[in-house]
Structure 1
Amino acid sequence: MGKDHVVDQFRPVTPGVPSSEGTPGGPALGELLRLSSRGDQGAFAALYDATSRRAFGLALRVVRDPAQAEEVTQEAFLEVWRTASRFDPDRGSAVAWLLTIVHRKAVDRVRSAEASSRRDVAYHQQNQPVDHDATAEAAEASLEARRVRGALENLTEVQREALELAYFGGYTHTEVATMLDLPVGTAKTRIRDGLIRLRDAMGVGR
């Protein structure tokens, strides 16, 4: 049985539906990932049951649409099933690794939708008079967005992960700490250090 077919057996949980979620971030989840990497469908089912509600909640916070959040969650678990062997417990907790995949999929979905919307707007504005001031502002905003994306690449993986959750995902420091299985103080430090490096990379205040 192919891995894609295995994942199709599991559907994302939705709010209000009981879940058998256990305590995330513990060694049990890491072991389930290890077994899943060997094709153990039972271990993957247990991993799904333990984390799918949380994964769906994160996806919903980012994409803001339950149907799309379900699709994002499904895509994320498909990637987890395919790439479970890449999980390295020395680099972070199992739940942080999984939620990073969910967050990346959700952000990709939002960016894709925004790109599609921009194409539609551009199409409808092709025959409209050009507002040079608005065009200049849009160009400046686009350049600034590229600067931010470029600066993010200069951060460490853990700093970028914390910043994306806090500022692009809209989570509080406490929520970021919970999602990454970190003490609140450590999460705040990663966010603060990431902001400092981001500021320096963009030349703010120079």
Structure 2
Amino acid sequence: MTTYVLAAVAGLLTGAGLIIAIGPQNVFILRQGVARAHVVPVVVVCAISDVVLIVAGVAGLGALVAAHPSVVKVAKIFGGGYVIVLGLMAARRCLRSSEAIVANAGEAATLSRWAAIGMTLALTWLNPHVYLDTVLTMGAIANSHGHAKWAFAVGACLASLLWFATLGGGATRLSRFFGSPRSWRILDAIVAVVMFVVGAGLLLSV
């Protein structure tokens, strides 16, 4: 019993360490939360996607992906390009006049529910880091726990659920601080920097 509990705790801590790092997915949740737009479906999609990826990694998909490095290479190129485009869009928002920012501060809120879900799916499943961290790394660590690997997976899944729920709820509470154009400009600047760094990192790692 102790072995399974320790494996679950290890999964919780490992999952938290890999998920909490700032990335495109977390930034998108932050932006939607600040705009109070479709936060619940976005958080649910992120959490379910993570659970699916963790389970797939523990079940052995990680070994399959590792055996085909060309797949990872192509994913890095397309994923890096996609993330950089999102960074350019955020940078463009930063350069708008204050009047334009005020007029479009609710930009995230104007997204339809399905458009928000679609962007969430793209930021999750087109991001190669998801496969490298969640599938390969998590799968390898989980399998090192032998028979307790599924206890590890449960802990990692719990970390995802807790993090995304906390991030979405916390971002919603920050919305009152974003009543000025300057606040939105700062947020979009952070978004742009994160997207550029992640995108460049993916392309340079090819």
Regarding TM over 0.5, the answer is: no
TM-score, reference length from structure 2: 0.32
More helix by share: 2
> Which is higher, the Rg of structure 1 or of structure 2?
1
TM-score, reference length from structure 1: 0.32
